């Protein structure tokens, strides 16, 4: 009898423990956030979406906090709508080159997102600008203008990435070396990296960077020699590997390009049609010696008087008598756009709109705009499409075709049309 009572008591205790355990489990599940029970699937896609703030981050709860949430939602929808079929692209919350699997978005990190790679809407940009650097005589027209600039950036980057994916598929697997970033200038205050493309507004862009860095009060005060031969601006390859990778993953990276034939003619006019103590003796003498029959002693002594067809012969010669120069090298070699994911791609042909749009995006000082002046040979007309056609008309059709082939990747990546109808 005593044994039977003890057995019943043990059974009751065991049942009570099971009931309490089940109730506790149900209570835990009801209080748990259901999203935490689902594994987060994040593909390893690189983004650097940063709208730069040169000073302090917005404190939690500030009025700008709501603006950033609105921007985040807009950009998230924008990324999803442009994702390749079957691929859902996340918007990163940390300034890192790659996203971690299962990483969760924290509220404070959402507030501190800097959104430049996929530009926010014009209304959000204007609302987020506490300094109010915009003149708004016609809000609707201005809004449409900024939206068109935003869509222009999206299209340029899409074309560039598609060209890279098609023709330079191995580039994304290569490691960045100092050589790849040797043409990139650093401006730390506004966290900007600028890849210099000569004959595409680089002198004035360096002036702008110097003003942003606090090294000058106005772009008009900076002399040409200070821009090109001074050491005020740092290059990215002067930093150690950690410094290079940190800036590449957290700074806003931009470059400006130009129609390749126009850029080539601009370089030729600048370096060979005016006195030059470097290009005439170094390049001119070698070009004349190789490509001009019966060159005069004076020409061979000075290197002056190189003609455009002779210059193009040098350019296309696989056994050049003198090496390549940055003023006519490919943009794809100067800036490695298939290896470095640029956030902003501007064009010389739309310089004023693109440059001032970029300056507003990084919250540059209100009075800073891109300078229009031409500081070398200022009395001479800028090289235009018409002038470039006049120079290339001096070449036979096969040579024009070879020159187009030489710059084919630049034409393709930056969506420039064929400059002559007889090119293929």
Q: How far apart are CA 328 and CA 266, in angstroms?
A: 9
Q: Is the pLDDT of residue 182 over 90?
A: yes
**Amino acid 338: pLDDT:** 94
Q: Is the pLDDT of residue 332 over 80?
A: yes
| Strand order, beta sheet including 344-347 | 234-235, 184-187, 192-195, 252-257, 344-347
**Amino acid 375: pLDDT:** 74
Q: Is the pLDDT of residue 198 over 60?
A: yes
Q: Is 7 helix (H, G, I), strand (E, B) or coil?
A: helix
**Amino acid 372: pLDDT:** 85
Q: How far apart are CA 286 and CA 271, in angstroms?
A: 14
**Amino acid 418: pLDDT:** 96
Q: Is 139 helix (H, G, I), strand (E, B) or coil?
A: helix
**Amino acid 95: pLDDT:** 36
Q: Is 344 helix (H, G, I), strand (E, B) or coil?
A: strand
**Which one has a higher pLDDT value, 354 or 46?**
354
Q: How far apart are CA 236 and CA 281, in angstroms?
A: 30
CB-CB contact of 180 with 168 (8 Å): no
For the ranges 32-36, 106-110, 169-173, 412-416, the maximum mean pLDDT occurs at 412-416
pLDDT-derived band at 68 (thresholds 50, 70, 90) equals: very low
> Taking the CA atoms of the chain, what radius of gyration do you get in angstroms?
29
């Amino acid at each position: 009898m005593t044994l039977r009572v003890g057995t019943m008591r043990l059974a009751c205790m065991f049942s009570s423990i099971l009931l309490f355990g089940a109730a506790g489990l149900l209570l835990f599940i009801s209080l748990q956030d259901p999203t935490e029970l689902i594994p987060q699937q994040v593909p390893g896609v690189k983004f650097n979406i940063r709208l730069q703030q040169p000073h302090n981050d917005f404190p939690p709860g500030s009025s700008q906090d709501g603006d950033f949430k609105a921007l985040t939602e807009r950009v998230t929808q924008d990324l999803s709508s442009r994702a390749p079929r079957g691929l859902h692209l996340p918007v990163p919350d940390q300034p890192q080159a790659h996203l971690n699997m299962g990483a969760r978005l924290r509220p404070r990190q959402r507030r501190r997102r800097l959104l430049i790679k996929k530009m926010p809407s014009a209304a959000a940009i204007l609302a987020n600008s506490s300094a109010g650097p915009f003149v708004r005589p016609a809000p609707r027209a201005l809004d449409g203008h900024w939206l068109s600039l935003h869509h222009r950036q999206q299209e340029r980057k899409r074309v560039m990435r598609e060209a890279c994916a098609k023709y330079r598929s191995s580039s994304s697997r290569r490691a960045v070396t100092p050589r790849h970033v040797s043409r990139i200038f650093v401006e730390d205050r506004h966290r900007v990296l600028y890849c210099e493309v000569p004959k595409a507004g680089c002198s004035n862009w360096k002036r702008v960077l110097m003003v942003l860095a606090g090294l000058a009060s106005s772009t008009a005060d900076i002399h040409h020699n200070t821009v090109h031969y001074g050491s005020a601006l740092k290059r990215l390859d002067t930093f150690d590997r950690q410094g290079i990778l940190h800036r590449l993953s957290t700074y806003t990276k931009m470059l400006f390009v130009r129609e390749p034939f126009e850029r080539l003619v601009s370089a030729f006019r600048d370096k060979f049609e005016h006195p030059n103590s470097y290009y005439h003796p170094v390049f001119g003498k070698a070009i004349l010696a190789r490509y001009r029959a019966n060159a005069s002693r004076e020409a061979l002594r000075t290197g002056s008087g190189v003609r455009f067809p002779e210059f193009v012969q040098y350019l296309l010669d696989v056994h050049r008598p003198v090496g390549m120069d940055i003023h006519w090298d490919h943009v794809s070699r100067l800036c490695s756009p298939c290896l470095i994911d640029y956030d902003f791609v501007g064009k010389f042909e739309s310089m004023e709109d693109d440059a001032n749009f970029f300056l507003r995006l990084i919250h540059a000082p209100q009075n800073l705009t891109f300078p229009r002046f031409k500081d070398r040979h200022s009395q001479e007309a800028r090289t235009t499409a018409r002038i470039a056609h006049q120079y290339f008309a001096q070449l036979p059709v096969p040579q024009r075709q070879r020159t187009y082939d030489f710059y084919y990747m630049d034409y393709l990546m930056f969506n420039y049309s064929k400059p002559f109808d007889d090119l293929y």
